[in-house]
Each structure stands twice: as C-alpha cells, then as structure tokens.
Amino acid sequence: MVRDLPAAALEDWLRERYFTARVDVSSSGVADYRLADLRRLGGITVEELDAVVFRDGPSLGADRLRAALTDRLRPSPDHVVMTAHGSSEALFLAMTALVRPGDEVVVPDPAYHSLSALARACGAVLRPWSVLDAQPDPADLRRLLTSRTRLVVVNFPHNPTGVTVDATVQAELLDVVERSGAYLLWDNAFRDLVYDAPPLPDPTALGGRVLSTGTLSKAHGLPGLRVGWCVLPADLAPELVRVRDYLTLSLSPLTELLAAVAVEHADELIGPRLAEAAVNRRRLLDWAAEHGVDCPAPGGGVTAFPRFPGVADVTPLCERLMEDHGVLTVPGACFGMPDRMRIGFGCEPAVFEAGLSALSAVLAENRLPANL
C-alpha cells in the first residue's frame, strides 16, 4: 500500500518554503499558540508536568482526553473516541480498516490529498464529488452511490474552498449515505471555524455507520502537538487498533495531557483566533472585489480558493510572491486546479495585510487579472 501512495504535492510545495517564508498566508489553520499560552490558560503547573510518567499509553487514548472530546462532540452511545497522531493518522487508520481493493469510495473534488490518495492506495475505485464554490446538493451525491460504494468521504467546512453545509443539508447527507449501506467518513477538522451560523453537530451524534475525524491543528492553533482523533462505531475500534499496532501504538502521555487541557479550554483558544479570521475574511472579500479576483465567500475554515481571470496557472505568481516578497501561498495545482490559489486567512490581521499587499504588487507587475 505505501508504495502506491503518490507524492503529496501540497506537502512538497510547503516543505521547500514554509520555514523560510517571512509572511505565511498559505496555512489552513489559525495562528499558533505557545506552550506558555496553554499553560496559563489551563493552569498547568511545573509540578503537574514533572509528575508525568513516560509510560506507554492506552491504544484508544488517555481517559482524560477521550472524556473531554466525548463531552465536547457528544457522539451517540454506540460510538467511541480514539485519539491519534493528528487527523492524518486517524484518516489513515480509518481508510485502511474500512477499504478493500475494488471498493468504490466517493471523495470530494478538490480535496486535501489524504482524503483521496489513501483510498486509492487501498485499491479503491474513486468516485469524485464536485465541491466548488457553492453548498453541494445531496442529490448529486445520491447519483454517485452504487451497490459497490463502501465509503463516502466529506470534509465540511471544506479545504481548500471554505464551502460548508447547513444543518438541513448535513442531515440529508447522513440520510443518503445511511440508506445506501455505505460508511460516511466526515473530516471535521474545521468544525469550529464558521462565520454565519453555529458549528454543526458532530455527525456521529445520530449514530449509524458514521465516523468523524478532528484535530488540534486547525481551529485550536496547536499543530505542533500532532494530536487528532477519530469518533467511530464501537464495533470498528478493534480494526483501527489492529492497524495502529503496526504503526504508533499510542500517544505520548505528555502530549495527551496538554491536548486534554486544550480540549477542556477549546472555546477560549478558538474564540480569539476565529475573531481574527473573521476580520481577515472580510478584508479578503473586499480586496478581491477591488482587484477583480473571483473569490466566493468561505462559509467556514480559514482558506479561500480564488480564481484569477486570465491566469491559466497561478504557480508562477506563487513563486514570484515567495522569491520577491517572502510571502507563501499555495498554487491550485496542488489540488488539481492550477487556475486557483489557496489563500489562508487564519493569521494575525497585520500579517494578512502584508500578504495581500505583496499579492497586489505582483498582480500589478503582471497586469492581472485580465478583466481589469
């Protein structure tokens, strides 16, 4: 399976530039917190840290962290929470436990690479479901489902577009997939980053053949902790543990202590960062209108996926931004759509303004967009 995984274009792009960029408007998460911030927020003392014993942890995760996640996400009683090394491991465990060669898997298009590449590496036949610029129609999903559909993968709010769904559409999606007999895997990394409505309930709240994954990397500002989770039907847990026994076994007890504090104080971490992102989102939409850039308003997350009229491939623009201004963005080619650019607006407003200023300069130098 591992040999069948393609290069991750997004990671290749970021790996070469992320640590040297002066201004980062590429990220799909909010601005990072420091350990001091988390300690102050949760009242973590030196004595509490010193008491941590570096023993192996439980396969499903530490009790305190799992209890905090259960309290926040409110899954149905027939579901359990399993912690993981980021949502990337959670997705890997879920895919490899569920998907077999020849299965059909519906995946969003465009999508974060793990959502499609892992299924393909497991031998699945992919059925792309277009998710671009507008709330998707469950009827379109229904037409993609067959007797061979094993898994439907969604991520709303969506990366990279910021498209999301309302509670009515969420319920319809759950019903469509449940009636088909397939499993639904909802990548819920951006659940708490929404602007015009409250966060949707976790899709596992109603039970059934539904899994959700989450992470502390996006809304909580703690990507360096590398903590994620999967909420899944209890009868599937042994399958995920079986796969994990060949990988990471468990998380560090120190990591899970810090993660538990983060989940227990999630609203206090997320609130200030969401407020900053809302300011940046409004600024981005105004900037796009001023510059003739086609940028639908993201309903959730902290990324937009604008199109630049007259530009078939934005990669040279992204390269120029980095080389001349030290500003990091993501070319749409990393998502199979070269005429678009992923712009992250989860950073501090001053940082975001610097990124937009540089982008304005590069567009002016190249007399773009062509519709102005």
Tell me the three-class secondary structure of 180-226, residue by residue: HCCEEEEECCCCCCECCCCCCCCHHHHCCCEEEEEECCCCCCCHHHC
Q: What is the predicted pLDDT for the residue at 2?
A: 66
Q: What is the predicted pLDDT for the residue at 206?
A: 87
In order, the DSSP letters of 26-62 are: --SS-PPPPHHHHHHHHT--HHHHHT---PPPPTT--
- The overall longest dimension of the chain from CA atoms, in Å, is 63
Q: What is the predicted pLDDT for the residue at 134?
A: 79
| Topology of domain 9-34+267-365, CATH | Aspartate Aminotransferase, domain 1 (3.90.1150)
- Give 165's DSSP letter: -
Q: What is the predicted pLDDT for the residue at 370?
A: 56
Q: What is the predicted pLDDT for the residue at 1?
A: 64
| Topology of domain 54-266, CATH | Aspartate Aminotransferase; domain 2 (3.40.640)
Q: What is the predicted pLDDT for the residue at 212?
A: 98
Residue with tokens 């489902």: 145
Residue with tokens 């009827």: 139
Q: What is the pTM assigned to this prediction?
A: 0.94
Q: Which two tokens stand for residue 33?
A: 């917190």
Return d(Cα 173, Cα 153) in angstroms, integer.
11
Helices (H), 101-157: 113-121, 138-144
Question: What are the domain boundaries of the chain?
Answer: 9-34+267-365, 54-266
Q: What is the predicted pLDDT for the residue at 261?
A: 98
Q: Which two tokens stand for residue 369?
A: 């967009």
Per-residue pLDDT tens listing for the chain (372 residues): 667 788 899 999 999 899 999 999 999 999 999 999 999 999 999 999 999 999 999 999 999 999 999 999 999 999 999 999 999 999 999 999 999 999 999 999 999 999 999 999 999 999 999 998 778 899 999 999 999 999 999 999 999 999 999 999 999 999 999 999 999 999 999 999 999 999 999 999 988 999 999 999 999 999 999 999 999 999 999 999 999 999 999 999 999 999 999 999 999 999 999 999 999 999 999 999 999 999 999 999 999 999 999 899 999 999 999 999 999 999 999 999 999 999 999 999 999 999 999 999 999 998 876 554
Q: Could you tell me the strand order of the sheet in which 303-304 lies?
A: 303-304, 341-344, 330-331
